[in-house]
Structure 1
Amino acid sequence: MSYRVQFFPRTPIVPNASQTRKTNVSPSFREAFSEAQQTLKISKHAQQRLEERNISIDEQQWALISQKVLEAKQKGIRDSLVLTNQAALIVNAVNQTVITAMNREEAQAQLFTNINGAIILE
């Protein structure tokens, strides 16, 4: 004995205008998605280095760094050296991830390789 099973696609039920409720969601999905894409991630390694070296970067500075990394990404930069008054960060612009961090004194004696861009913030 054999059975034939036939599947039919479900048709979506579209509510009429009186059944739909509009909620004011702030921010919109597009804005939230755009903001999430612009936010820098900090790798576990970089977080450890920031803590070990007592490097603190305020939200305003992080926002500026994030903005500049996004600009670098749009220009085709993959890995960038970001220099601030107190820190040197290596950032993967493609993934928008801080890879490592060191204080400026430590960075003065370093040779940086495998970067194809630099962002200098004072």
Structure 2
Amino acid sequence: MLDTLLTLLVFQTMGEGLVHVFSLPIPGPVIGMLLLLGYLILRKGIADKLAPTTNQLLAHMALLFVPAGVGISVHMGRIADEWLPITVSVVASTLLSIIATALVIRWLSRSKQEAGQ
């Protein structure tokens, strides 16, 4: 379990470091996740080693939303003042995510069909 948590923290720290060094406009954990994805693609057996602990983390993922809920309640006045841009950005990002997911699934389906033929 400690190896898995250390791996996750190392990649998050690497992401934070890259964001800090290169002044990137992307959050460090996102960069860390991309680095971890690349690592998992390159080292095939690592995913199986990390799976038990990551499944335990995912089982308790609801706890990770508590800080976000507290933040929303603390900043409720600001959210009330800026409800329109927040709503537009949430709706737009949701639609873009759905469209991007549909396009990726379509592309993967075509690739799988072409490989099978």
Q: What is the TM-score when the length of structure 1 is the normalising length?
A: 0.23
Structure label with greater radius of gyration: 1
Higher fraction of helix:
2
TM-score by structure 2 length? 0.23
Higher relative contact order by CA 8 Å / sep ≥ 6: 1 or 2?
A: 1
Of Structure 1 and Structure 2, the greater strand share is in 1
